Structure 1
Amino acid sequence: MTSSTIAPVTGVRMDPQFFRFDEYDEFDPERVLDVLRGRRLGVIFRGVIPLAVQQDLTARFWNSQGLTRRTGEPSYHVGAYHWNKPVDTYLAETSKVSEQVMDVLNCDDSPWHWFRDRMNDRLAGDGARLRTAEMNGEQACPALVRAWNKEGEFALEPHEDEAQCRDPRQAGFEVQRVLDYEVCATNMCIEHEGGGRLVLWNIRPDDDSRRRFDILHSGFSYPPRTLDGIERVNVDIRPGDVYVFNGRHVHAVDATRGNRTAISFLLGFIDEQTVVTWT
């Protein structure tokens, strides 16, 4: 059966007050909190990573001893994915690569560091904090640094980040508690030649759709034609941008020209006092 004969994706659609992407010229943790609290779809902070920092991070990434070509995917990365694997495997992979990830991130004026510092300053006012997700004393990967360079309509196919947080192979991993709040994604663009817009559709898929596409615990991927007719927003991404959005919505990266390299991690509340990050 072709995607043209498959029923459209079904699920929850949000109102226009929520389904918008706001832009700012300076980083503001309050606006990130709006996304984490489910008050808006996403926010982008334009040009907040200085050029010299972008160049330093990009060089560290491409020269990293941890640089890996992802099996079956047109991307390079430094870090570990929790997606579609047992939690013990993810944590074991993380323990092997965390030092290499931090070797990339630990530059002067690192956006990974100042994002976390400023979010913690803001959360402290509510008696809360941001930290890396944990399980049995082991920590999740601090970030993924990755470059997409796939040809075709989408460099990263339409998908969503909620389903992966239900994987029964990760039972007990505290990121599954994020499902009581919002599953969000943060990206920090350090290298980008052209194209590669962030595309988001106004649909939070239901389990009926996930079962039809056999992606109940992965969320990857939704045939593009099954999203036809659903409202979408396209966000141009430029080097130096930092953006945060609600990953429950189907989203993708459209065709790129050259490498589109970013520091990435997922994040969300697990209780009223704790925001965790993972990859």
Structure 2
Amino acid sequence: MVTAEASKAPAISPLAVRERTGWISTAEIVSVLKGEIAGLHIRQAFSAEVAEVITASFFRNPGLKERKDGVPGQYIGASHYRKDAATYFAEAENARPFVDAVFDNLVDPVRGLFDALKRELHNQGIELRLARSEHGQANICRAICWSGTGMYALEPHDDVAQVLCAGKDYELAAVASNTVVALNFYPSMPEEGGNLRIWSHKPTVTERKSQGLETTGYPYSTAYLEAVPCHEFELKTGDIALIDGGFIHGVTRQSGNEKRRLLLNCFLGFAQPDLVLWWT
């Protein structure tokens, strides 16, 4: 039986996106953090040589694991998704040497961006740091290959639900009241597909409940999104994408050659007016 709430068409939210070529600027990141831009795609943001080293390091890394939380993919690092704080931070501590090994002694683009943003925010009286608890500290990123085999390599979802319902032991839960930003670096992309699709819809708690996705925000059905406009970022190796994770987004099916879609991912957002947290 479909409830009255579930039968309502999803509300359309304006989707301000920006795409260009070159290195990402800290000012652009701040614009996404403040909700001024919903999606940012920077082409050729880091070199092919760096991308090749990261990709080779990922596939030979002894810390490479298969996800077992209902979201198909391989990963190195830790995810807070559907975990209590003690479990997540313990996994982050255990995974730290494997995450570091992904960069194989490079001056990596993730830490370079983190350090630049930290300096920029410090000048504005705002602290940027990794999320932490008595159990440990978050890693600077995780490395992931999504492996869904249907219409999407990663089904449509939002990132706010999992933050909002993270639990009282997580300081990052406060970010859900602001903009939860997903930041992705792409060291490897297939010839076709694997694009980041973002829909013009930011579901409310009530709308998540109507879909049975209150605590996870994953996955939204194609029927639910049928009438919602979307924008697709056509990604290539060396690109960076930054989005407001409150908007529903997903990854299109990949095809074309044997190259895998590999991304380095992290989240960030304001927990307080003078504090931005960064986690995975």
Fold similarity call, TM over 0.5: yes
The separation in 1 between residues aligned to 2:103 and 2:122, in whole angstroms, is 24
Aligned length: 272
| Aligned structure 1 segments of 4 or more residues deviating by more than 6 angstroms | none
SS in 2 for 1:108: coil
Deviates more, 1:241-250 or 1:18-27: 18-27
Report the counterpart of residue 177 of structure 2 in structure 1: 180
Q: How does 1:123-272 map to 2 (within 5 A)?
A: 123-136=121-134, 138-167=136-165, 170-193=167-190, 194-257=192-255, 258=258, 259-272=260-273
The separation in 2 between residues aligned to 1:243 and 1:45, in whole angstroms, is 6
1:212 to partner: Cα distance: 2.3
1:8 to partner: Cα distance: 5.5
Report the counterpart of residue 49 of structure 1 in structure 2: 46
Letter aligned with residue 267 of structure 1: L
The separation in 1 between residues aligned to 2:105 and 2:275, in whole angstroms, is 27
- For residues 82-121 of structure 1, give each alpha carbon's deviation from its aligned partner in whole angstroms, at most 9, with x where no partner exists: 0112121111211211121112135323111111111112
Letter aligned with residue 90 of structure 1: Y
Quote the RMSD (CA, aligned, Å). Answer: 1.9
On the 8 A contact 1:149/1:256 being kept in 2, the answer is no
Letter aligned with residue 116 of structure 2: R
The separation in 2 between residues aligned to 1:73 and 1:162, in whole angstroms, is 16
On the 8 A contact 1:7/1:226 being kept in 2, the answer is no
Letter aligned with residue 153 of structure 2: A
The separation in 1 between residues aligned to 2:176 and 2:128, in whole angstroms, is 17
The separation in 1 between residues aligned to 2:205 and 2:275, in whole angstroms, is 28
1:21 to partner: Cα distance: 3.3
The separation in 1 between residues aligned to 2:110 and 2:16, in whole angstroms, is 26
Report the counterpart of residue 13 of structure 2 in structure 1: 14
1:137 to partner: Cα distance: 5.9
Report the counterpart of residue 35 of structure 1 in structure 2: 32
The separation in 2 between residues aligned to 1:92 and 1:234, in whole angstroms, is 36
Report the counterpart of residue 85 of structure 1 in structure 2: 83
Report the counterpart of residue 109 of structure 1 in structure 2: 107
Identical pairs, percent: 26
Letter aligned with residue 10 of structure 2: T
Structure 1, gaps ≥5 residues long: none
1:277 equivalenced with 2:278 (yes/no): yes
The separation in 1 between residues aligned to 2:112 and 2:8, in whole angstroms, is 41
The separation in 1 between residues aligned to 2:19 and 2:85, in whole angstroms, is 34
The separation in 2 between residues aligned to 1:142 and 1:116, in whole angstroms, is 8
Letter aligned with residue 264 of structure 1: N
The separation in 1 between residues aligned to 2:30 and 2:59, in whole angstroms, is 32
On the 8 A contact 1:21/1:40 being kept in 2, the answer is yes
Letter aligned with residue 14 of structure 1: S
Letter aligned with residue 270 of structure 2: F
- TM-score normalised by L of structure 1: 0.91
Letter aligned with residue 212 of structure 2: D
Deviates more, 1:98-107 or 1:108-117: 98-107
The separation in 2 between residues aligned to 1:129 and 1:111, in whole angstroms, is 20
1:216 to partner: Cα distance: 0.7
- TM-score normalised by L of structure 2: 0.91
On the 8 A contact 1:10/1:206 being kept in 2, the answer is no
Letter aligned with residue 237 of structure 1: L
SS in 2 for 1:204: coil
SS in 2 for 1:100: helix
